[in-house]
């Protein structure tokens, strides 16, 4: 398994958009796969946020994750967010989510992000808690109960 940026494989936008639409379309992510695809085109970056990172094996996309700005409008002071973590259904349970989240953290550190936030519907923190994320608070956001978590990042040493 290797990690690549969606920006380097723009043909994969349609696959990622379909995954996001099928998983979260009911939340207003877009009214069609094409609309979601258009929205994620702003993530076609590899050297700045927003970006989408993919886990791939050969030509198969296994998982994706986003680094983005201000995901929740109720927290305008919380700038950098991890979101859109999605593992292809046939690859769930293979520890791919942990791998891609940890790689996203490395990239965020390299981009000089000091604190990263996320929201999860898993109110006990689930995998994120196991990976060292700290719960901040539970809120009802757009009709859903979510747990907001944070991870303090230490910057990598520059040589």
**pLDDT 10s digits, 25-42:** 767 656 899 999 999 999
pTM over 0.75: yes
Residues 54-69: tens digit of each pLDDT: 999 999 999 999 999 9
Q: Does residue 85 contact residue 38 with C-beta atoms inside 8 Å? A: no
**What's the confidence (pLDDT) of residue 57?**
96
Where b means 16+ CB within 10 Å and e means fewer, 121-153 reads eeeebeebeeeebeeeeeeebeeeebbbbbbeb
| Element of type H or E holding 16 | helix 13-24
Taking the CA atoms of residue 116, residue 40, residue 121 and residue 136 in that order, the dihedral angle to the nearest 10 degrees is: 20
Q: Is 32 helix (H, G, I), strand (E, B) or coil?
A: coil
Q: For residue 38, what are its two tokens?
A: 């258009």
Q: Where are the alpha helices (DSSP H) in 51-139?
A: 96-110, 126-130
> Can you say how many angstroms the Cα of residue 149 is from the centroid of all Cα atoms in its chain?
13
Domains of the chain, earliest start first: 2-115 (3.40.630.30)
DSSP conformational letter for 131: T
Q: Is 98 helix (H, G, I), strand (E, B) or coil?
A: helix
The pLDDT-based confidence of 24 (bands split at 50, 70, 90) is: confident
**Whether residue 50 has a cis bond before it, omega within 30° of 0:** yes
């Amino acid at each position: 398994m290797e990690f690549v940026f969606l920006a380097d494989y723009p043909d994969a936008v349609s696959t990622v958009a379909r995954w996001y639409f099928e998983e979260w379309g009911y939340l207003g992510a877009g009214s069609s796969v094409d609309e979601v695809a258009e929205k994620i085109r702003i993530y076609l970056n590899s050297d700045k946020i927003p970006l989408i990172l993919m886990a791939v094996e050969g030509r198969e996309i296994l998982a994706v994750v986003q680094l983005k700005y201000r995901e929740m409008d109720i927290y305008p002071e919380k700038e950098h967010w991890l979101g859109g973590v999605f593992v292809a259904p046939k690859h769930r349970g293979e520890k791919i989510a942990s791998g891609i989240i940890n790689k996203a953290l490395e990239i965020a550190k390299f981009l000089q992000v000091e604190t990263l936030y996320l929201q999860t519907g898993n109110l006990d923190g689930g995998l994120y808690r196991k990976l060292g994320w700290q719960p901040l608070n539970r809120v009802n956001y757009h009709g859903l109960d979510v747990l907001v978590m944070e991870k303090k990042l230490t910057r990598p040493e520059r040589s």
